[in-house]
């Protein structure tokens, strides 16, 4: 395995793209699958998501419209982007059409890659197991960031994943400086002791710009959820061919 951190401009040699938007899209996607959602569609624009949901409703498919803008639920959508909303009695057996500010756009930016999976702290181990199934593959870890800027929480998650991959796959070598920088940032947070690591992650999230925005919007409890390491087995694989159809088709 050759995991590297990449931007969507460098997709050519990638066999598997792992997209990270820890606060909060990829965390929420993991929780949604764990709670029984059947499928997650990633849509960049709000209107596009509305049209896709209407078309799916017209076909009689149980569908929920989900996402956020500026961290808050979007008018007319069924659910926002807080993992706390994704409970089995609300979403089990339903497909989710998601539009978020950075996360779903990052997924759509890597659609040319054959395999796309979503990672967060909560499913780090499960993603590592998934990624290690085949050898000799180049994994591109794509950090969604915030409006094009690097987001600390995504880089920390990339580092945590890189560490787990190198620990569990003998033939895994980090490729490129950015992967090593992410690993160093992660080790700075987790330290040599594994005890209370989630507490330390949460603390660091609270100091990040993305974490700050969530606290200001009243979603402090989501930092706690997103900081739990290896708690979910879900491996969300993005629906690469989602092409919304007009509502009247």
Binding site for ligand MLT (CB under 6 A): 21, 23-25, 68, 71, 81, 100-103, 214
> CA–CA separation, 43 vs 48, rounded Å?
7
Q: Check whether the bond before 54 is cis (ω within 30° of 0).
A: no
> CA–CA separation, 99 vs 29, rounded Å?
12
Q: Which of 123, 201, 203 is nearest to 164 (CA)?
A: 123
First-last CA distance in the chain:
44
Query: Minimum CB separation from ligand MLT for residue 57, in Å?
Result: 24
Residue sitting closest to ligand MLT (CB):
100
Query: Minimum CB separation from ligand MLT for residue 214, in Å?
Result: 6
Query: Minimum CB separation from ligand MLT for residue 170, in Å?
Result: 34
Of 102 and 198, the one with the shorter C-beta distance to ligand MLT is: 102
Of 63 and 100, the one with the shorter C-beta distance to ligand MLT is: 100
DSSP 29: H
Of 72 and 173, the one with the shorter C-beta distance to ligand MLT is: 72
Of 83 and 244, the one with the shorter C-beta distance to ligand MLT is: 83
Of 57 and 216, the one with the shorter C-beta distance to ligand MLT is: 216
> CA–CA separation, 56 vs 152, rounded Å?
36
The secondary structure of 63-75, three-state, reads EEEEEEECCEECC
> CA–CA separation, 31 vs 115, rounded Å?
20
**CB-CB contact of 163 with 183 (8 Å):** yes
Query: Minimum CB separation from ligand MLT for residue 23, in Å?
Result: 5
Of 82 and 132, the one with the shorter C-beta distance to ligand MLT is: 82
The count of other CB atoms within 10 Å of the CB of residue 88 is: 11
> CA–CA separation, 211 vs 146, rounded Å?
11
Beta-ladder partners of 119: 20
Query: Minimum CB separation from ligand MLT for residue 67, in Å?
Result: 8
Q: Which of 204, 179, 243, 206 is nearest to 41 (CA)?
A: 243
Of 73 and 176, the one with the shorter C-beta distance to ligand MLT is: 73
């Amino acid at each position: 395995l050759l995991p590297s951190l990449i931007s969507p401009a460098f997709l050519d040699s990638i066999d598997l793209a792992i997209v990270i938007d820890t606060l909060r899209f990829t965390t929420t996607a993991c929780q949604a699958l764990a709670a029984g959602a059947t499928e997650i569609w990633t849509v960049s624009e709000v209107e596009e998501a509305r049209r896709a949901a209407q078309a799916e409703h017209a076909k009689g498919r149980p569908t929920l419209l989900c996402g956020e803008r500026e961290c808050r639920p979007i008018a007319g959508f069924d659910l926002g982007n807080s993992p706390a909303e994704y409970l089995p009695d609300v979403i089990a057996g339903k497909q989710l059409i998601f539009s978020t500010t950075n996360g779903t756009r990052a997924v759509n930016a890597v659609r040319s890659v054959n395999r796309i999976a979503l990672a967060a702290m909560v499913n780090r181990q499960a993603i590592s197991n998934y990624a290690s199934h085949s050898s000799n593959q180049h994994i591109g870890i794509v950090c969604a960031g915030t409006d094009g800027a690097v987001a600390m929480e995504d880089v920390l998650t990339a580092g945590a994943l890189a560490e787990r991959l190198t620990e569990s796959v003998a033939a895994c070598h980090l490729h490129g400086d950015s992967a090593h920088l992410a690993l160093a940032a992660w080790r700075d947070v987790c330290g040599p002791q594994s005890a209370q690591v989630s507490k330390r992650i949460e603390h660091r999230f609270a100091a990040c710009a993305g974490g700050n925005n969530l606290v200001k919007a009243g979603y402090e409890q989501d930092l706690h959820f997103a900081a739990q390491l290896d708690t979910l087995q879900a491996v969300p694989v993005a629906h690469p061919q989602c092409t919304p159809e007009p509502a009247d088709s």
